[in-house]
Structure 1
């Protein structure tokens, strides 16, 4: 059983504190903890986390585990979405588990970045002998799934949500953090009403030194990757590549499909390199202008994240006057199944 957990913080406050105010707690052992008797009748979510010290691989996804697991003051609930419940306050959180040797590198961008309402913060870190348990704020679904369910968004709604996305990205860029692998799925809702967004993950982020944002990393989701990443064998501007991905996101919000899409990766990359796309007639002129200001083949011609926030489309979209129309090209819809992009990593070697 876990012992001598040093309790430094309680989560009774309604507002979660920034991550830098939480110091890791230390667990004496990663041996399997005892089940929490008073919560033993909690309904199963179909897949529960195994005990942290379980020798059977994979440790985090063993289907043989049959009950909730206590980690310090938390109850880990489900394997699929890594939900956790604080035993004293009843507050639901998200939990990510990292090998102890690498977890500090994984959470370094969270520590480096000043707090922002549109970026997920770390609530607490608990260290075991071999693993670190990092607790984040609860989420209420991601943007990719939301757009898929809505077909596409009205310009009024898209502007409200996209402005929050840009605010998060701009804050990162001003703090010398380039996000990389930026996509709709990385933004999640903070509320049940789905009006407040935040960036869910900084695990692919790069901490830059000064104003130089040169990157050589070619990892990314094919639908969102910029032309210069495909064309260059050297470095590219990380901030400009992020802005291209933002252009793909805005197009998808307003149209309900990706601007560049093909089932064959080589054909998809050819379309991205050419940078040619068609914006449907129902998209307003100011929204067209903004999309074309982001999806420019030449990185230096794209707006910066700070400049995007000043674009007149955000104000104009506050007065909706466009009738909704269904997308005409159904094969370009956002995929119905989760797109992990892991099977296409070989194209970015």
Structure 2
């Protein structure tokens, strides 16, 4: 039986990171354009338009230059499947990193949260910064793909694997919330793997987050975000809304997508899609354990104040599952690659399912 419910820029501190200054930039790097939800593109099922914001933004034409660039000691190459990201090789040390490029006028605000948030293993940290005349190049640890790509490839995750990965996501969000940072625009693409075995998860960056001036007041009014993950209160325009509770709705969408293999709300017509989200009515499919259903129902609630907080989420019994003998022997940090295999199941092929 399907279950339904109706209401269910200050001084930047970068630690040991030194800001290196270049006399001039090399040729500017290309950045992929983002689409507007009002331009006729539907967010569809998983992957159709993962970066689409709710509010319109100008669409820029990427530069034609797609080859390597040299910035100081770094060789940069745009990553075709990661908007605004570049692989980076430090030719002096051999270190492999990733790089984000910002205009000089905004880069300090973009990295502000790194100076506020204490270090955490599930949140990326800045490794280096190189300043040019027009651009700032921010270098972070190399990753091994994002969670969106994992779910897209597996179609869905079994609950044991999903629990291990989603708990790390929740730890990152709880750490940010406890330190006065609202993430906003949360989605699977924002979380990447720190190891080749794809067992260690971290938040890819903090560039789109909001640093609260008063940690006790997370009231917000902006409507920027990915349509598939945006909360009902943001779409309804009933500002102000709680930024932290909007993050918790997005976490519910992430977990649903991991377990089911598609977004909880879908319609080819954006207006109908947004209407469904505003109503906050979502069917939890059969095949999930009662604890998993309970957790989804506790996050995907129309009333923000009925949703779990990040700390309450971590206390949910779905996470407290007995470890397998292999996990006991190896520890959660060294789960074997074989354990990452998702059991096969029959599914109708749909070209629009994972774009």
Whether the aligned pair in 1 keeps the contact of 2:29 and 2:65 (CA below 8 Å) is no
Equivalent residue number for residue 179 of structure 1? 183
Normalising by structure 1, what TM-score? 0.78
The CA deviation at 1:266 is 1.1
Distance 1:324 1:109 in 2: 39
Normalising by structure 2, what TM-score? 0.76
Matched position secondary structure for 2:171: helix
Asked if residue 158 in structure 1 is aligned to residue 162 in structure 2, the reply is yes
Equivalent residue number for residue 248 of structure 1? 253
- Per mean C-alpha deviation after superposition, the further-off stretch among 160-169 and 82-91 is 82-91
The CA deviation at 1:324 is 5.2
CA distance 1:329–1:79, shift in 2 (3 Å)? closer
The CA deviation at 1:22 is 0.8
Distance 1:327 1:274 in 2: 31
Deviations, residues 47-81 of structure 1 (Å, cap 9, x unaligned): x958xxxxxxxx99543565x33222211133534
Task: Answer with 1 or 2: which has the greater Rg.
Answer: 1
Matched position secondary structure for 1:220: coil
The CA deviation at 1:326 is 3.9
Deviations, residues 224-248 of structure 1 (Å, cap 9, x unaligned): 1111111234210000000000001
Aligned residues: 293
Distance 2:322 2:257 in 1: 16
The CA deviation at 1:318 is 4.3
Matched position secondary structure for 1:219: coil
Matched position secondary structure for 2:111: helix
Asked if residue 198 in structure 1 is aligned to residue 202 in structure 2, the reply is yes
The CA deviation at 1:328 is 5.9
Equivalent residue number for residue 39 of structure 2? none
Asked if residue 296 in structure 1 is aligned to residue 301 in structure 2, the reply is yes
The CA deviation at 1:310 is 0.7
Distance 2:130 2:117 in 1: 20
Deviations, residues 269-315 of structure 1 (Å, cap 9, x unaligned): 11112222222221000011111000111111111001111111112
Distance 1:79 1:257 in 2: 25
Whether the aligned pair in 2 keeps the contact of 1:178 and 1:206 (CA below 8 Å) is yes
Trace 1:259-338 onto structure 2 (pairs within 5 A): 259-316=264-321, 318=323, 326=345, 335-337=353-355
Distance 2:191 2:307 in 1: 22
The CA deviation at 1:168 is 0.3
Distance 1:203 1:99 in 2: 13
Distance 1:206 1:31 in 2: 31
User: Of 98, 101, 109, which aligns to 2:105?
Assistant: 101
Equivalent residue number for residue 5 of structure 2? none
The CA deviation at 1:203 is 1.6
Whether the aligned pair in 1 keeps the contact of 2:25 and 2:71 (CA below 8 Å) is no
Equivalent residue number for residue 23 of structure 1? 18
Distance 1:222 1:185 in 2: 14
Kindly report the root-mean-square deviation, in angstroms, between the aligned alpha carbons of the 2 structures. Answer: 2.6
Whether the aligned pair in 1 keeps the contact of 2:183 and 2:206 (CA below 8 Å) is yes
Matched position secondary structure for 2:234: helix
CA distance 1:221–1:330, shift in 2 (3 Å)? farther
Equivalent residue number for residue 6 of structure 1? none
Distance 1:271 1:143 in 2: 25
Whether the aligned pair in 2 keeps the contact of 1:100 and 1:130 (CA below 8 Å) is yes
Deviations, residues 148-185 of structure 1 (Å, cap 9, x unaligned): 10011011000000000000000000010000010111
Equivalent residue number for residue 207 of structure 1? 211
CA distance 1:204–1:64, shift in 2 (3 Å)? closer
Q: Which has the higher contact order (CA 8 A, sep 6+)?
A: 2
Matched position secondary structure for 1:223: coil
Deviations, residues 85-128 of structure 1 (Å, cap 9, x unaligned): 01122111111111111110111112211111111111011111
The CA deviation at 1:147 is 0.2
Matched position secondary structure for 1:132: strand
Equivalent residue number for residue 33 of structure 2? none
